[in-house]
Amino acid sequence: MSSTMTDELKATLDSARKSWIGSANDAQCDFPIQNLPFGVFSSDRAGDPGSANARVGVAIGDLVADLAVLHEAGLLRLPVNARQDVFARPALNDFIALGRDAWRSVRVQLSSLFARETATLRDDTALRERAFVKLADARLHLPVQIPGYTDFYSSKEHATNVGSMFRDPKNALLPNWSEMPIGYNGRASSVVVSGTPVRRPNGQLKLPDQERPVFGACRKLDIELETGFVVGRGNALGEPIACEDAEDHIFGMVLLNDWSARDIQQWEYVPLGPFNAKTFATTISPWVVTLDALEPFRVAQPAQEPQPLEYLRHEGHHAFDVALEVRLRPEGAQEATTIARTNFRHMYWSMAQQLAHHTVAGCNTRVGDLMGSGTISGPTPDSFGSLLELTWNAKHPLELKSGGTRGFIEDGDELALAGWCQGDGYRVGFGTCVGKILPALK
């Protein structure tokens, strides 16, 4: 555990801590008192103005705590220079901009407020009714306003699989891959929150038996199982972030599905990389899990060979033991099929290294910037993070529980990503990241 953590902050991670909110003590609950992820929500309950009043909340058990109500009631303190409506905003950016000390302070206060032995809110029935909304009744919104989005390519297993499939298996990795985190600048405007339908894209397709491309709907639509991190503290133009300091600039993590049109991408990506194959949608989960909540699950990342250049070196452990799953449910099916199980700990390049490399040339980052990990694949065939790999470009279709097979995604399919860290009698979860595919426009 990080030595910079205070005793109060360490107490929020105690596996023995329980909440007076009974559902938060369920061993399978994604949102126990040890988690407390931040998001933005609204609701349609009586007296609530609904989506016009989207505001900051924290997930706890099967409830969402309205931080604006708790602050107005005097139960949450903010820095003296903070705008007093920071929790009544439709995005987390203003809260995040208060800095890490403020994030940690609010998390400590909430942990104490929700602890089983604290009567302040527990015994105030009227305030509880105002301060909580059932998670099932909440409308969850994109948690941050995203100024910029970058997607990396940091799983060695994934890069090796793709390189083997489309190039020479003996030279699957390009020479630069092991020297730096490879990435590209994506499209922030098409990042959507979980539950938003995704329309199959149209584009240019180069068919093997055709001399020129044709225009039409993507035929090889895929998911990319990823996580993403949200920048919590930016850097000035021309001033890189040191690798050792990079985690201090990260607010937290989300699940991320960087939908991919493989056939469009195969034709367009040379020489400048993905464009329309990735710009049509990227889905993220609505809850941002803080790095502090993930601290007990910190593990060593894979060995890096060759040793990275000096600006990409950091001491200690910088991976996290996050179990990840992909579930596919065809339209009309009662049950989803889990098609992949993997873990974030397999990532070759860490989040700190990604951020350090992103800024080393002088690029400035801003509060709310989103950085995707790249597809997360493990070492076994059932741990691959994309259908491209799971079916080896549709050569080996997957069998579904509901009947039928899949090489790539079909219209009406619903894809759900799930992720969690398993503790002693509790789990720190991310919830789910869900999207359903609509037909392409004619």
Where do the domains of the chain lie? 7-141, 149-438
Main-chain dihedrals φ then ψ at residue 355, nearest 5 degrees: -70, -40
| Residue whose entry in the numeric block shows the structure tokens 């709310």 | 368
Say whether pLDDT at 151 is over 70. yes
Question: In the chain, what percentage of residues exceed pLDDT 70?
Answer: 97
The token pair at 403 is: 């009947």
Model confidence band, residue 80 (pLDDT cutoffs 50, 70, 90):
confident
- Tens digits of per-residue pLDDT, 354-379? 999 999 999 999 999 999 999 999 99
CATH number for the domain running over 149-438:
3.90.850.10
Q: Is 226 annotated as a binding-site member?
A: yes
Q: Is 311 annotated as a binding-site member?
A: no
Q: Is 269 annotated as a binding-site member?
A: yes
153: closest CA among 321, 408, 314, 377? 377
Say whether pLDDT at 45 is over 90. no
Sign of the CA dihedral with 202 first, then 394, 184, and 366 last:
positive
Average pLDDT, stretch 320-347? Answer: 98
Contacts of 252 (CB under 8 A, 6+ apart): 37, 38, 229, 230, 232, 288, 289, 290, 291, 293
CA 158 to chain centre: 18
Say whether pLDDT at 342 is over 70. yes
Average pLDDT, stretch 137-152? Answer: 98
- Tens digits of per-residue pLDDT, 415-431? 999 999 999 999 999 99
Q: Is 278 annotated as a binding-site member?
A: yes
* Helix (H) / strand (E) containing 94: helix 93-96
Question: What is the set of active-site residues?
Answer: 158
Average pLDDT, stretch 192-200? Answer: 98
Domain pair 7-141 / 149-438, same fold = no
CA distance readout (Å), 259 to 278, 280, 282, 408, 432: 6, 8, 6, 12, 15
Question: What's the number of CA atoms in the CB half-sphere (13 Å) around residue 66?
Answer: 22
Say whether pLDDT at 1 is over 60. no
- Tens digits of per-residue pLDDT, 215-272? 999 999 999 999 999 999 999 999 999 999 999 999 999 999 999 999 999 999 999 9
Does the pTM surpass 0.75? The reply is yes
Say whether pLDDT at 99 is over 70. yes
Write down the pLDDT at residue 46: 53
- Tens digits of per-residue pLDDT, 262-300? 999 999 999 999 999 999 999 999 999 999 999 999 999
Say whether pLDDT at 47 is over 60. no
Average pLDDT, stretch 71-98? Answer: 95
Q: Is 66 helix (H, G, I), strand (E, B) or coil?
A: strand
Q: Is 30 annotated as a binding-site member?
A: no
Q: Is 153 annotated as a binding-site member?
A: yes
Q: Is 72 annotated as a binding-site member?
A: no
Write down the pLDDT at residue 338: 98
- Tens digits of per-residue pLDDT, 181-191? 999 999 999 99
> Does the domain made of 7-141 have the CATH classification 2.30.30.230?
yes
